[in-house]
A = this chain, B = another copy of it.
Amino acid sequence: MQALPELIGYLAALLTTASFLPQALLTLKTRDTASLSLSMYAIFTLGVSLWLIYGIFLHNNAIIAANSITLLLSASILYVKIYNRLTGREQSHTAAAAE
């Protein structure tokens, strides 16, 4: 057993999974999605769904747990993005407007 690589792998998985929490909280709080890419969240949410299916196939609880959480966060962001896009609540080029 290689303890250090395994520890680094777990920490990497924890960080990349947990990172979507502050984004989901920010998006749900401000409802601001102008600088979020719709393509990113559509592709990412589909990818995470496939990771979840992969984990179910392999009966791997770590993959199932991590991707269930990420799917919930990612799908929430995607929902707000699509809602804003459909209801015309988006204003783009914020940075440019601030100059």
Interface residues of chain A, those whose CB is within 8 Å of chain B, are: 2, 4-5, 8-9, 11-23, 25-27, 30-37, 39-41, 43-44, 46-48, 50-51, 53-54, 57-58, 84, 88-99
Contacts and interface: CB of A to CB of B under 8 A. Distances in A.
A95 to B, nearest CB: 4
Contacts of A92: 30, 32
A65 to B, nearest CB: 15
Contacts of A20: 40, 44
Given A9-B54, A90-B94, A91-B97, A23 B37 contact: yes
Contacts of A40: 19-23, 26
A36 B96 CA distance: 15
Given A16-B51, A46-B15, A89-B98, A35 B37 contact: no
A57 B8 contact: yes
Nearest to A52: B12
B57 A37 contact: no
